[in-house]
A and B are shown apart, each in its own frame.
Chain A
Amino acid sequence: MSATIKSLAVAGILACTSPLAGAEAINVPAPDFTLESRSGENLRLEDHRGEVVMLNFWASWCGPCRQEMPLMDELYSQYKDLGFTILAVNVDENREEAHRFLDKVPVNYPILYDPESSVSELYEVQAMPTTVMIDRDGNARYLHYGYQPGYEDDYEQQIRELVRE
């Protein structure tokens, strides 16, 4: 019986090949959207054409998001004067959760609210967190699924590359 379990296990693990990779290089137009931001006004992605945009999807209940946010804040203060910005889309259904979280983990970059997941669906978010690097022409160039310590180095490398274009 343990032999049967063994073969089942091998079959199960090898059979399911996910089409995703931890990070991907692509070149497709990033879909436009408008969402309410933390400062009260509506922000539209198209308005940031000409800037390098790091679009990040996060939630208060997501552990890895909590890890990467302070590191993203550092990147924001370092590169924002070079035509770079971060748009962090919060997917919490309840805005209060996001606010409570931001009280403890304060960041300076814009926060957008997507409580109905319309933009998450638009971007086919397949992991939490998800980061999309968008170049100055509005094309999505790099995709990151999830966060592992060390990803922030990849982010920085890609920001420097896109800022120079």
Chain B
Amino acid sequence: MAVTERGCPRLTWLVLPALLVVAGQLSAATLPVDNVDVLYHRYDGGGMVIDGPSVLVRKSAGSQVSVSGQYYVDSVSAASVDVLATASPYQEERTEYTFGVDYLHEDSILSLGFTNSSENDYEANTVYFSVSQEFFGGMSTVTMGYASGWDEVGRVGNDSFSEDADRRNYQLGLSQVVTRNSLVGLDLEVVTDEGFLQNPYRQNRYIDPNDSTAFLYQPERYPETRTSTSVAFRALYYLPYRASIRGEYRYFSDTWGIDAHTIELGYVHGLNEHWTLEGSIRYYSQSEADFYSDLFPFENSQTHLARDKELSSLSGTTLAAGAVYEWKQTSLPGIDRLQFSLLLDWLNFDYDNFRDVTVAGDFLPGEEPLYSFDALVTRASLILEY
């Protein structure tokens, strides 16, 4: 049942095909190295605990091709505020498989991949293709990507319920070395969705016509299309004592009326040959969707209705800290490099117009306290290059 967890679009790179013939070019790129990437991830907050493993294996096949496969699980034990308001706590598992191929051709790296994510009531499939090209003496990298996804939305308890949702992602990115000590990046991504974009379980509420101190529920109704655009700018600067600072700003806007800003600042500090410490702070704010309301005045007051807190006006702050241990040219048999990371992120979300109806006490509809929650995300990762 995943009220907030949905099969996620695995699309990071988008590329427009057939732009690959660059005869006579200097070979100026390297494939990712062979490695095994094992991650334990855990999200604990807002009444939910979601944890699980992620295992990725990457191996080169010849000098120009690298293949990778990933297995990922989200194990959900949840009693989030959406769930508690209208249902009972649940346990669920989402499993995701990804296969990818990277091909090095002269200056460019072409990547093709497929992801399948499946849970008991949602199936998501994505195909992605991207091209990454280095220019200008390796100082500039342009990446273009395209992803297409097709999802099947189901409903627990109703075997005949099946709806489709399709996605397209278009991405363009530029990374530029500015000086010996700095680099900047610009990313642009357009996502379009079409189909059944709402949640089959989630309800919104309206004032009971017979009793103004109570409210009733009706299922949400979203538009059948959504197009969004994101532009992000990032910059990194090297500090002389083996450290770096970085900043990022992203602007998001979509056809549902949501505008969002994300700002992140990070600091990485190399302690010695093996240890690195890092910290970052992130601030996010978004405005609500046009058809969002915490409480509607009466049934069917609008064509589209949403009480999804993800579409409300909210702000979020994250404080993160981490430590990384790196062992280069190890003495372990067959292992060239080992990297262990422990990363902790504390997330805090505050909603401006989503109220917590599960709070004990007698509140008139629309006067319940505003909802907020925090969560701790833990990531323990081990990367072995062989």
Interface residues in chain A, defined as those with a beta carbon under 8 Å from any beta carbon in chain B: 1-2, 5-6, 9-10, 12-14, 16-18, 20-22, 63-64, 100-101, 103-105, 126-127, 145-146, 148-150
Kindly count the residue-residue contacts between A and B in the assembled complex, taking CB atoms under 8 Å apart.
Answer: 63
> Which A-chain residue is minimally distant from B24 (CB atoms)?
A21
Cβ of A28 to closest chain B Cβ, rounded Å:
19
- The distance in angstroms between the C-alpha atoms of A148 and B65, with both chains bound, is 12
> Which B-chain residue is minimally distant from A128 (CB atoms)?
B138
Given that A5-B16, A127-B138 are known contacts, is A105 also in contact with B329, CB under 8 Å in the complex? yes
Chain A residues with CB below 8 A from B30, complex form = 63-64
- B190 on the A face (CB < 8 A): yes
Given contacts A9-B142, A13-B22, 4 further A-B contacts (CB under 8 A): A5-B172, A18-B25, A63-B33, A101-B329
A9 and B144 contact, CB distance less than 8 A: yes
- B335 on the A face (CB < 8 A): no
Interface string of B114-145 (1 = CB under 8 A from A): 00000000000000000001011110001010
Cβ of A18 to closest chain B Cβ, rounded Å:
5
Interface of B: prevailing SS: loop
- The distance in angstroms between the C-alpha atoms of A103 and B328, with both chains bound, is 12
A9 and B26 contact, CB distance less than 8 A: no
Chain B residues with CB below 8 A from A2, complex form = 16, 170, 190
Question: Which listed residue, B26, B64, B172, touches A127 by the CB 8 Å rule?
Answer: B26
Cβ of B348 to closest chain A Cβ, rounded Å:
36
A146 and B27 contact, CB distance less than 8 A: yes
- B63 on the A face (CB < 8 A): yes
Question: Which listed residue, A17, A100, A101, touches B24 by the CB 8 Å rule?
Answer: A17
Cβ of A21 to closest chain B Cβ, rounded Å:
6
Give the bracket for the number of chain B residues in contact with chain A: 20 to 34
Can you pick out 10 interface pairs between chain A and chain B where the beta carbons lie within 8 Å of each other? A6-B16, A9-B142, A10-B19, A12-B142, A13-B22, A16-B136, A21-B26, A22-B27, A103-B329, A149-B62
Interfacial residues of chain B within 1-35, with CB under 8 A of chain A in the complex: 16, 19, 22, 24-28, 30, 33
A148 and B63 contact, CB distance less than 8 A: yes
B63 and A149 contact, CB distance less than 8 A: yes
Given that A9-B19, A101-B329 are known contacts, is A20 also in contact with B172, CB under 8 Å in the complex? no
- The distance in angstroms between the C-alpha atoms of A21 and B106, with both chains bound, is 10
Given that A63-B30, A150-B63 are known contacts, is A9 also in contact with B24, CB under 8 Å in the complex? no
- The distance in angstroms between the C-alpha atoms of A5 and B145, with both chains bound, is 11
Chain A residues with CB below 8 A from B136, complex form = 16
Chain B residues with CB below 8 A from A104, complex form = 328-329
Question: Which listed residue, B62, B172, B329, touches A9 by the CB 8 Å rule?
Answer: B172
B25 and A17 contact, CB distance less than 8 A: yes
Question: Which listed residue, A16, A63, A127, touches B135 by the CB 8 Å rule?
Answer: A16
Cβ of B57 to closest chain A Cβ, rounded Å:
19
Chain B residues with CB below 8 A from A1, complex form = 190
- The distance in angstroms between the C-alpha atoms of A145 and B24, with both chains bound, is 13
> Which B-chain residue is minimally distant from A7 (CB atoms)?
B16
- The distance in angstroms between the C-alpha atoms of A150 and B62, with both chains bound, is 10
Interface centre among A2, A10, A64, A104 (most CB of B within 10 A): A2
Chain B residues with CB below 8 A from A16, complex form = 135-136
Chain A residues with CB below 8 A from B144, complex form = 5, 9
> Which A-chain residue is minimally distant from B146 (CB atoms)?
A2
A13 and B133 contact, CB distance less than 8 A: yes
Cβ of B334 to closest chain A Cβ, rounded Å:
14
- The distance in angstroms between the C-alpha atoms of A146 and B63, with both chains bound, is 13
- The distance in angstroms between the C-alpha atoms of A20 and B139, with both chains bound, is 15
- The distance in angstroms between the C-alpha atoms of A6 and B273, with both chains bound, is 44
Interfacial residues of chain B within 142-179, with CB under 8 A of chain A in the complex: 142, 144, 170, 172
Cβ of B97 to closest chain A Cβ, rounded Å:
29
- The distance in angstroms between the C-alpha atoms of A16 and B139, with both chains bound, is 13
> Which B-chain residue is minimally distant from A101 (CB atoms)?
B329
- The distance in angstroms between the C-alpha atoms of A101 and B328, with both chains bound, is 9
Interface string of B20-64 (1 = CB under 8 A from A): 001011111010010000000000000000000000000000111
Cβ of B43 to closest chain A Cβ, rounded Å:
34
* Those 3 A-B pairs whose CB atoms lie nearest each other, nearest first: A104-B329, A149-B63, A20-B26
